Amino acid sequence: MSVRAFPDNGAKVLISDTGGLWPTWSRHGHELFYRTEDQRIMVANYTVKGESFVADKPRVWPGKQLANVGLGGNFDLAPDGKRFAVLMPAESPEPRETQNHVTLIVNFFDEVRRRVAAQGK
């Protein structure tokens, strides 16, 4: 994984020679986060001086391995740059097909009002 200027001046700065997915810039610091193929979050500190971009060697961000969702995103950085929202693997003896289940509830309060009204009849 590498970084280039925009507009592109042709120069690239290597961040990781083992690849990386979902690069995410810290909003308040000089950090670049990304995910490895083995589902770990990495961080590389960097400095910018004029046209020069210099990145430190990436290090593992503390924490466990994330859930494997293939090429999709499984983390996002909080606006304060100190926490992540992540998808973690299910710790269950259930088959994997059962573990990868998400329930999305829309119009939650409308459904609660409907059920409460139905109980009152």
Mean pLDDT by groups of 10 residues along the chain of 121 residues: 83 89 88 91 90 90 83 84 81 63 77 86 69
**Of 28, 27, 21, the residue nearest 42 (C-alpha):** 21
Which residues are bridge partners to 47 per DSSP? 54
Q: What is the per-residue pLDDT for 97?
A: 59
